[in-house]
């Protein structure tokens, strides 16, 4: 097999959280690999800009307003994707939030927002998209963007770590239940990537000192997530199912 096994020509990829950071970069990378992009998030103006960029580069894309905690917005977005291009057969569950607080200070609002966005949102999107793939007898690939903090623990991140740990178990369980429909489910566990979620800290002197002690001595570049995700989404990953792939410069294996 040649490099054509990595092609996403003819595929339709829903990317949640495409208005910023990792989702935005991954959407552009998948478009370059040939996929039509359904760019989803709440900030439609940013999604429209991304669609214009993808189209200018010769790709195809559609912006859809989705709140991953709202099932109706998910159904409406997938309906629009279907009538414009067809049934979505790649899902990148990337939308996420983090509001670190010491465990004793986490209130219900923070806890619910973290779990509803990071865990329930992945569940809702994956379930609705998988139902449609199975109904259309279309194989597909679901990729959940978890975190190395779903594997390892970090002080002050109880809600976030718990939500991402739950995503990893959901990934494994879905892989078992959906394999019979030709739908693979895998997770990526990124290390630190500088985005709006963490730029204040990682850009600070303290954050830079912290990064310099990690095995790679730097944060990841969003483009470094594209290759692993294309592998999982494409035929190149046809026997990879239920896996968790850290993309973290060995941070999650280090004792520092």
Interface positions with ligand NAP (CB under 6 A): 16-17, 19-23, 41-43, 66-69, 94-98, 117, 145, 147, 190, 192-193, 195-198
| Three-class secondary structure of residue 137 per DSSP | coil
The nearest distance, CB 80 to ligand NAP, in angstroms, is 15
Taking the complex as a whole, the smallest distance from the CB of residue 230 to ligand NAP amounts, in Å, to 17
Please say which residue, 69 or 84, places its beta carbon nearer to ligand NAP: 69
**Token couple for 90:** 């790649």
Give CA–CA dist 54/15, Å, rounded: 13
H or E segment and range at residue 130: helix 121-135
Q: Please provide residue 56's backbone torsions phi and psi, each rounded to the nearest 5 degrees.
A: -60, -35
**Residue 73 CA to chain centroid, in angstroms?**
18
Is 140:182 a contact under the CB 8 Å cutoff? yes
Helix (H) or strand (E) holding 177: helix 158-178
Q: How many helices (H) and strands (E) does the chain have?
A: 9, 7
Residue 36 vs 147, nearer CB to ligand NAP? 147
Nearer to ligand NAP, 67 or 128 (CB): 67
User: Mind telling me the catalytic residues?
Assistant: 160
Q: Do residues 22 and 222 lie in contact, with contact meaning Cβ atoms separated by under 8 Å?
A: yes
Which residue lies nearer to ligand NAP by CB, 196 or 205? 196
**Which residue, judged by CB position, is nearest to ligand NAP in the bound state?**
96
Nearer to ligand NAP, 237 or 246 (CB): 246
103: Cα separation from own chain's centroid: 26
CB atoms within 10 A of CB 50: 23
Q: What is the smallest separation between the CB atom of 207 and ligand NAP, expressed in angstroms?
A: 11
Q: Which of 44, 130, 142, 121 is nearest to 87 (CA)?
A: 130
């Amino acid at each position: 097999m040649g490099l054509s096994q990595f092609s996403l020509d003819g595929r339709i990829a829903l990317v949640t959280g495409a208005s910023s950071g990792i989702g935005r970069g991954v959407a552009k990378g998948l478009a370059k690999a040939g996929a039509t992009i359904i760019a989803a998030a709440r900030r439609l103006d940013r999604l429209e800009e991304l669609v214009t960029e993808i189209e200018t580069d010769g790709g195809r894309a559609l912006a859809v307003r989705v709140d991953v905690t709202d099932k109706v917005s998910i159904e409406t977005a997938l309906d629009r994707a279907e009538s414009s291009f067809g049934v979505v057969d790649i899902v990148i569950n990337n939308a996420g939030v983090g509001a670190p607080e010491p465990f004793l200070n986490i209130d219900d609002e923070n806890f619910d927002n973290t779990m509803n966005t990071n865990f329930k949102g992945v569940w809702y999107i994956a379930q609705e998209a998988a139902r449609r793939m199975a109904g259309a007898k279309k194989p597909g690939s679901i990729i959940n963007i978890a975190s190395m903090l779903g594997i390892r623990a970090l002080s002050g991140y109880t809600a976030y770590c718990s939500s991402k740990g739950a995503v990893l178990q959901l990934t494994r369980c879905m892989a078992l239940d959906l394999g019979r429909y030709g739908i693979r489910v895998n997770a990526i566990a990124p290390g630190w990537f500088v985005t709006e979620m963490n730029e204040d800290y990682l850009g600070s002197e303290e954050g830079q000192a912290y990064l310099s002690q990690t095995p790679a001595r730097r944060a990841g570049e969003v483009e470094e997530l594209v290759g692993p995700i294309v592998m999982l989404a494409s035929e190149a990953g046809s026997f990879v199912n239920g896996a968790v792939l850290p993309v973290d410069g060995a941070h999650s294996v280090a004792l520092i």
